Amino acid sequence: MLSDVMEDYLKAIYQLQRETDERIKTSAIAEELDVTSPTVTSMLDKLEDRGLVDREKYRGVTLTGEGETVALEVIRHHRLLEAYLTEHLDYDWAEVHEEADRLEHHISENFEARVADALDQPTVDPHGSPIPSADLEPPERPDGESVTEFEEGDVVIVEEVADRDAEVLSYLADHGVEPGVELEIIEVAPFGMVTARSSDRDGTVSLPESVAHHVRVAAPAEIEQ
């Protein structure tokens, strides 16, 4: 049986792999999990011994098929829990990430199935992130890009918002920047600040680069295709 910490590492490696075609370096995992590199190295030794990661010296790691299956199961639990907490227990979307982190390792498959049924088999969580299917096939990532990649005058639809920073989520929700909302890019400053108008709120919202990086959007035509 894997420990909660082992599952956290596998989930982190999976999420990092989704962002690059390269092997994941120890330093990237350390930053993702806010631990030291020696701590990561020690855990990777254990995961390698169990056949859950494939390592190449000086090049980093990737998940094996078994490791990916474990990661997908934990991610499915996490995102279903986030959806359930917001839809049925009135949690704010900024609160659910940490709560789901605590619960994701401890629910049974029967409980998972009942949660999915209660939610009518959702395909995305409250932040727009895709939920792995019950057979644990890797979900397709939305085609959107960071809102920083668009230009003044562009109209885009918010597809996904990173769920790890509660303060960022609260700020975005207060200004109507949520999945499904239309944004008009009003200004892109040279230093990275994006000013946009949300179809869900009056006025404009200023998105510093550090915040805008958390928002993935797509042009309406791309979503319709």
Kindly report the CATH number assigned to the domain that includes residue 42.
Answer: 1.10.10.10
Mean pLDDT along residues 95-116:
95
Answer with the one of 13, 35, 63 that is the final residue of a domain: 63
Answer with the one of 23, 48, 63 that is the final residue of a domain: 63
Percent residues over pLDDT 90 in the chain: 73
196-213 pLDDT, tens digit each: 999 888 889 999 988 888
Please give the Cα distance from 92 to 112 (Å, whole number): 21
Which residues share a beta bridge with 161?
215
pLDDT of residue 221: 67
Domain assignment present for 204: yes
Please give the Cα distance from 211 to 72 (Å, whole number): 27
pLDDT above 60 (res 121)? yes
Please state the pTM of the whole predicted model.
0.89
* H-helix segments, 23-139: 26-33, 37-49, 65-88, 96-103, 109-118
Domain assignment present for 172: yes
Residue from 50, 59, 63, 48 nearest 11 by CA: 63
136-175 pLDDT, tens digit each: 998 887 678 889 999 999 999 999 998 878 888 998 988 8
Answer with the one of 63, 86, 110 that is the final residue of a domain: 63
pLDDT of residue 1: 86
Identify the domain containing residue 29 by its residue range. 4-63
Q: How many domains does the chain have?
A: 2
The CATH number covering residue 177 comes to 2.30.30.90
Domain assignment present for 90: no
Q: Which residues touch 147 (CB under 8 Å, ≥6 apart)?
A: 156, 183, 185, 194, 196, 207, 212, 215, 216, 217
